[in-house]
Amino acid sequence: MIGLLLIWSVVPVSMIVLSSFKPTPDIFTYPPTLLFEPTLEHYRTLWEKWPDFFLTLRNSAIIAVCAMALTVFSSALAGYVYSRYRSSALAGSAVFLVAIRLLPPIVITLPLYPVVDFLKLSDSYTLLILLYATFFVSLGTMILKTFIDGIPEELDQAAIIDGASELQILWRIIVPLSAQGAVAASIFVFVYAWNEYLFAFIFTTTRAKTAPVVISEMMASLNGVDWGLLFAAATTQLLPVVTFVVLVQKYLIAGLTAGSVKG
């Protein structure tokens, strides 16, 4: 059973990673061989033929990190207010926060197109950062609210008596004690922004193009896909994010259960 699970989730990925180091003929041997002379030839071809790929990888990294920062910043502030305050307007906006998640992202591509053009945001980092942050700010807020709910409110009360301002309470008490929630929220946004295809495909052409879009172009450059090259690109794209997720899996699980089950 556990063996099947390993085959299901690890084998497909490791085949790609291993094949990216195989000399071309060895990629196609059947049954797949584990004995081969490792080579970097596909990575060299990638560097020589698709130098843009590494630029798009940098774009992906910048966009993902900024989207992460923006989401965590907005979600922490909102999560704090939802956790500590009660009012009917607030309850109404919480319903809005949940209900807006029903909206499929593709629906807004059409009206955004002319606006984006008008604001000269087409093919820009800013646009993708805003889009990615927006689609995760609801989940981020719920995750952070759940974590902030876990911080005893007596701590805030004591600080208020000591004359602390709202910002001081946030910075001195809430931020340090809800850091795990912030990490959990960051993982979701980072993974999403690093891997996202739809918006990047529709809204970027050259300057802000992301790595998944280039990989899809490599795959589509038919008349014989260069599989070795494709695997080298895929491996470069997936290794950072897979490593990240495996390292922080504890927070990922905490975030999933906080954001969906309780939210």
Partner 1 sequence: MRKFGLTQFVMLAPALGLLIFIILLPSLYVFWLSFTESTYGKAPVFVGLENYVAIWNDRYFWRALINTLIVVNVIVYGELILAFVIASVLVKGVPFRRLILAVVLMPYAISEVVAVVIWKFLLDPDIGALAKAMASAGLPDINWATNPTHGLGLVSLISIWLNLPFTLIIIYAAMLAVPSDLYESATIDGASPWQGFRYVTLPSILPAVFVALIFRYIISFRLFSEVWLLTAGGPARTTEVMAIYLYKQSFTYASFGKGSATGWVMVMVSGLIAAAYLHLLYRRGFRQNA
Interaction of residue 191 with partner 1, rule CB under 8 A:
yes
Query: At its nearest, how many Å lie between partner 1 and the CB of residue 195?
Result: 3
Q: Closest separation between CB of residue 3 and partner 1, Å? A: 11
Distance CA 130, CA 127 (A): 5
How far, in Å, CA of 181 to CA of 187, rounded? 10
Q: How far apart are CA 107 and CA 112, in angstroms?
A: 9
Cα 1 from chain centroid?
Answer: 30
Return the CA Rg of the chain: 22
Q: Compute how many residues bind partner 1; rule: CB under 8 A.
A: 90
Site for partner 1 in 198-227 (CB under 8 A): 198, 201-202, 212-213, 215-216, 219, 227
Residue 244 in contact with partner 1, rule: CB under 8 A: yes
Q: In 3-state terms, what secondary structure has residue 1?
A: coil
- Tell me the C-alpha distance between 203 and 120, whole Å: 12
Please tell me whether residue 186 binds partner 1 under the rule CB under 8 A. Answer: no
Determine if 189 is a binding residue for partner 1 (CB under 8 A): no
Site membership for partner 1, residue 195 (CB under 8 A):
yes
Reference 60, options 160, 132, 161; nearest CA is: 132
User: What are the backbone angles phi and psi of residue 10, rounded to the nearest 5°?
Assistant: -95, -40
Element (H, E) at 79: helix 51-84
Counted residue by residue, the chain has a size of 263
List the interface residues with partner 1, window 110-149 (CB under 8 A).
110-112, 115, 130-131, 133-135, 137-138, 140-141
CB of 206 to partner 1, least distance (A): 18
Q: Binding partner 1 by CB under 8 A: which of 103, 119, 158, 179?
A: 103
Determine if 155 is a binding residue for partner 1 (CB under 8 A): no
Exactly one of 24, 39, 45, 74 binds partner 1 (CB under 8 A); which one?
Answer: 74
Task: CB nearer to partner 1: give 112 or 208.
Answer: 112
Q: Is 15 in the site for partner 1 (CB under 8 A)?
A: yes
Q: Which stretch binds partner 1 (CB under 8 A): 35-43, 45-53, 171-179, 196-204?
A: 196-204
Q: Give the nearest distance from C-beta 35 to partner 1 in angstroms.
A: 15
Q: Which two tokens stand for residue 180?
A: 């795990």
Report if residue 96 touches partner 1, rule: CB under 8 A.
yes
Compute the distance between CA of residue 162 and CA of residue 63 in angstroms, rounded to an integer. 40
Distance CA 127, CA 146 (A): 29
